[in-house]
Amino acid sequence: MLSLLFSNPIFFLIWSGALVIAITIHEFAHAWMADHLGDPTPSIQGRLTLNPKAHLDPLGTLTLVLVGFGWGKPVMFDPFNLRNPKRDSALIALAGPTANFILAFILSLLAKLFPSLLPLIQLLVSLNIMLAVFNLIPIYPLDGQKILTGLLPHQLALEYEAIMHQYGTILLIFLIWPFSGTSLVSSLINPIINFFLNLLL
C-alpha cells in the first residue's frame, strides 16, 4: 500500500481517509458497547467519540499502510464494571467488527442508489470488510481472541488467554510479516474478504 504514495498519491490520500473512517467506526463501537453495558471507562478516557484522533494507533495504522492489515488504539474497559465480565467482554470485542460489517452493508446499498460513487464506495466497503475480518482472527491483541475467550469454558478460556497474552503478539507479527511479498494472514483471510465483497458488491 505504501507504494501508492509514490505511484498514485491522490488515491493514497483517498484510501487513507477511508481507512481512518473504518478504524474510527470500529473503535467507537467498542467504546459504545462498553458504555452501554455499564462501564464508563471509555467515556472517561475520551473514546466515546467519532473524532478519529481518539482512535488511531500509530503502530496499527503503520502496519495497515505497509502490509494492508492493522488495528486502532485499543479501547480500555474495566471488567469489574460489567454485570457478566466474560460475556460482556466478548460483546465489547464483537462490537467493532460488527460495526464495520454494518457500515459495509449500508455503503453497498448506497452504491446501488448512487452508481457514480461506486469506486469510492467500493474502497470504503473493502476496507471495512478487511478490518472486520482481520480483527476476528482469534489471536491477541485482536478482537477475535476476546470473542473466543468469551465462548470457551471457564478454565479453558483462562488457559487460552494466558497463552495468547504470552505469545499472541509474536504470532501475529509472524502472520502479518510479508514473506516473499505476501503475508500468511493474507492467504488465510483474503478468500473470506473476497466472499463478502462479492456478496455486497
Q: What is the pLDDT of residue 25?
A: 95
The per-residue pLDDT for range 137-169, each reduced to its tens digit, is: 999 989 999 999 999 999 999 999 999 999 999
More confident residue, 5 or 116: 116
Q: Cα–Cα distance between 172 and 138 in angstroms, integer? A: 10
| Cα 118 from chain centre | 23
Q: What is the pLDDT of residue 2?
A: 58
The share of the chain scoring above pLDDT 90, in percent, equals 66
- Which sequence spans correspond to the domains of the chain? 4-200
**Confidence band of 69 (pLDDT split at 50, 70, 90):** low
Helix (H, G, I), strand (E, B) or coil at 153: coil
Residue listed under C-alpha cell 495497515: 64
Q: Which residues contact 165 (CB under 8 A, 6 or more apart)?
A: 140
- Dihedral of the alpha carbons of 96, 102, 103, 105, in degrees to the nearest 10: 150
Q: What is the pLDDT of residue 48?
A: 96
More confident residue, 162 or 69: 162
Peptide bond into 141 cis (omega under 30): yes
Closest to 149 measured CA to CA, from 72, 102, 79, 98 = 79
Mean pLDDT, rounded, for 69-75 = 77
Q: Cα–Cα distance between 55 and 53 in angstroms, integer? A: 6
Q: Cα–Cα distance between 144 and 147 in angstroms, integer? A: 5
Q: What is the pLDDT of residue 76?
A: 95
Residue listed under C-alpha cell 499472541: 168
Let me know if 161 is a catalytic residue.
no
Mean pLDDT, rounded, for 53-75 = 77
Mean pLDDT, rounded, for 113-130 = 91
Choose the catalytic residue: 22, 27, 129, 183. 27
Helix (H, G, I), strand (E, B) or coil at 179: strand
Q: What is the pLDDT of residue 178?
A: 78
Q: Cα–Cα distance between 98 and 135 in angstroms, integer? A: 10
Q: Is the pLDDT of residue 47 over 90?
A: yes
Q: What is the pLDDT of residue 5?
A: 58
Q: What is the pLDDT of residue 91?
A: 98
The per-residue pLDDT for range 177-192, each reduced to its tens digit, is: 877 777 888 888 999 9
User: C-alpha distances in angstroms, 53 versus 24, 42, 56?
Assistant: 9, 14, 6
Q: What is the DSSP letter of 22?
A: H
Q: Is the pLDDT of residue 124 over 80?
A: yes
Q: What is the pLDDT of residue 17?
A: 84
C-alpha grid cell, residue 180 = 516473499
Q: What is the pLDDT of residue 70?
A: 60
Q: Is the pLDDT of residue 68 over 70?
A: no
Beta bridge partners of 179: 182
